[in-house]
Amino acid sequence: MPEFDKYTTPLSSRYASDEMSAIFSLRNRFSTWRKLWLNLAIAEKELGLDIITDGAIESMQKHLEITDEEIAKASAQEAIVRHDVMAHVHTFGETCPEAAAIIHLGATSCYVTDNADLIFLRDAYDILIPKLVNVINRLCKFAMANKDLPVLGWTHFQPAQLTTLGKRATLWIQELLWDLRNFERARNDIGLRGVKGTTGTQASFLALFHGDHNKVEKLDERVVELLGFDTVYPVTGQTYSRKIDIDAFAPLSSFAATAHKMATDIRLLANLKEVEEPFEKSQIGSSAMAYKRNPMRCERVCSLARHLGSLFNDMVQTASVQWFERTLDDSAIRRISLPSGFLTADILLTTLLNISSGLVVYPKVIERRIKSELPFMATENFIMAMVEKGASRQEVHERIRVLSHQAAAVVKEEGGDNDLIERIKKDDFFEPIWTELDSLLDPATFIGRAPQQVEKFVSHDVATALKPYASSIDDTEVKLNV
C-alpha cells in the first residue's frame, strides 16, 4: 500500500524528535533483540558451553544491525508462523548460519522482548532528562530577567495581590524540578529481567548447565553486566512485573500535569496580552482572521499532556490483571502505550524548549492592568497612612469604602477607568496624605520578597539540581517540526 494511503501516528510522523522515534523504531527493536541474543551466547560460552563457537559469536557480532531486507524477510516469516520472535530467530539464523543452532539457546521470547523494552525505557529517559534540564535552565533565565517586574497576581482568576513575573515563573520551575527528581529516580530504578526462562524458574538454563545453580546465577548476572545494567530483578514470572511500567510512567503522568498547567497559564496571559509564546514572522494565526496570534504551541502542549496523563491508567490496569506468571493481554496495549508515552513526553519537552526560549513580555500592558486594580489594593495603605496623621481608623475605613464602591461602579457599570485616586484627591478629608499617594501606590512596595525569592531559588535550589548536568546545558534555538 502506498505510504500516503495508510495511517501513521502523528507522534512520529509529525511531532517527535528523530532520536526518540529511533528508540522505538522497528530497526532498533530487532537490532536490540540481536544484541540480546549475542550477549546471551557470549555469557553462555564464558561459563563453559562449548557448543557455542568463536565463529558463531563473530558472525552474530557482524550482523547486529538488521537490514531492510531482513526486516521484510522476518515479516513474511511471521505471517506464516504467527510468532514475531521466532520469525526473527529464523531470519537471524539464515544471516548467521554458523550461529543458527545456538541463537536463543535456553531462552523464552520475553528474554528479548522484555529486556529490550527495559533498555528502551532507560534510553528514552536519557533523552528526556537533558531536555527537561534545558527547559528549566531557560525558564530560570526568564525568571531572573523578570524577577523585579510587578504583575497582577490572580486567585480564582480574580485580581489578588501583586507578585512579579519572575516569581510566577518559579512556580513552573519548581514543579519541573520535582519532575526532574522523578525522572532521575525512575531512570535509575530500571533494571533488566535478565535470564529467567519460561516461567521465571530458570529451569532451561539449569538443564543447560547440568544442574549447576552457581553457573545459572552467574549467567543472569553476566548478561546484565554485558548489557550495561547494574540491576537484575531477582525474581520474575515469564515477564518482568508490569508494576515496573507503572513506576516508569508515573513521572511522565506527573510531568504532563506540570506541562499542562504551565501552558494554560501562558494561554491565559496571552488572552490578557501580557505574555505571549513565540510567534514566527511568517506564522499564520487563523485562515480567516488574519490579525490573530493564537497560542498554538501552548495549545499543543495542553492537548498532548492530556493524552500523556491518560496513559498511566493503561499501565495500572495492565499490571493489575496479569494472571499468575503472565497472560498475553499485556502485549498489544504495551506495543502502543510504551512508545506513545515517551514520544509524547519528548514532544512536550521539545515544545516547551521552544516556548521558554522566546516568551514575549508586554510591560506596558502589565503596567496598565496594575494601575486599574492597584488603587483598591492600596486602600489598606491609605488607611494606615491617615491613622498616622491622627485620623480615626473607623472613619477612614468608611470613607474609603464609599469611594471604592463609587469607583467600582464606574468600572463595572459605565466601562470607565478606576478613578478611586482622583476621588481621594478631591476629598479634603484625605489632604494629609495627598503628597504621599504616589509612594503609597508604587507597585514595587506590593511585591514583598518576590525578587529575593527568585534569586535564592535559582542560585540555590535550581543550581544544586542542575549541577550534575552542566555539560548538557545547550542554548541552541529549538525549531519545531511543524
Active-site option among 156, 210, 282, 287: 156
Can you tell me the distance from the alpha carbon of 256 to that of 306, in angstroms, rounded to the nearest whole number? Answer: 7
* 172, three cell numbers: 513552573
- Per-residue pLDDT, 376: 86
Helix (H, G, I), strand (E, B) or coil at 2: coil
Q: CB–CB of 112/87 below 8 Å?
A: no
Count other Cβ atoms within 10 Å, centred on residue 135.
28
| pTM, rounded to two decimals | 0.92
Residue 178 confidence (pLDDT): 98
Instruction: Identify the helix (H) or strand (E) that includes residue 408.
Output: helix 393-413
Cell of 358: 522566546
Residue 63 is among the residues annotated as catalytic for this protein: no
Q: Does 104 qualify as catalytic in the annotation?
A: no
Question: What pLDDT, on the 0 to 100 scale, is given for residue 282?
Answer: 52
Contact 258, 172 (CB under 8 A): yes
Q: Is the dihedral of CA 218, 220, 223, 227 positive or negative?
A: negative
DSSP 6: S
Strands (E), 76-157: 150-155
Q: What b-and-e string marks burial along 196-231, b requiring 16 or more CB atoms within 10 Å of the CB?
A: bbbebebebbbebbeeeeebbebbbebbbebbebee
Sorted by sequence, the CB contacts under 8 Å of residue 20 that are 6+ apart come out as: 124, 127, 342, 343, 346
pLDDT, tens digit only, all 482 positions of the chain: 677 888 888 898 888 899 999 999 999 999 999 999 999 999 999 999 999 999 999 999 999 999 999 999 999 999 999 999 999 999 999 999 999 999 999 999 999 999 999 999 999 999 999 999 999 999 999 999 999 999 999 999 999 899 999 999 999 999 999 999 999 999 999 999 999 999 999 999 999 999 999 999 999 999 999 999 999 999 999 999 999 999 999 999 999 999 999 999 999 999 999 999 987 655 545 544 544 578 999 999 999 999 999 999 999 999 999 999 999 999 999 999 999 999 999 999 999 999 999 999 999 999 999 988 888 888 888 999 999 999 999 999 999 999 999 999 998 999 998 899 999 999 999 999 999 998 999 999 999 999 999 999 999 999 999 999 999 999 887 777 66
pLDDT at 378: 87
| 286, 310, 320, 459: the active-site residue | 286
Show the CA angle centred on residue 114, arms to residues 110 and 117, nearest 5°: 150
In 125-244 the beta strands, taken as DSSP E runs, fall at: 150-155, 158-164
pLDDT of residue 285: 54
Q: CB–CB of 111/190 below 8 Å?
A: no
Convert the pLDDT of each residue in 317-343 to its tens digit.
999 999 999 999 999 999 999 999 999
- pLDDT for the residue 479: 74
Domains present along the chain, CATH in parentheses: 3-99 (1.10.275.10), 109-365 (1.20.200.10), 379-440 (1.10.40)
481 three-state secondary structure: coil
pLDDT digits (tens, 9 = 90+) for 210-247: 999 999 999 999 999 999 999 999 999 999 999 999 99
pLDDT at residue number 290: 46
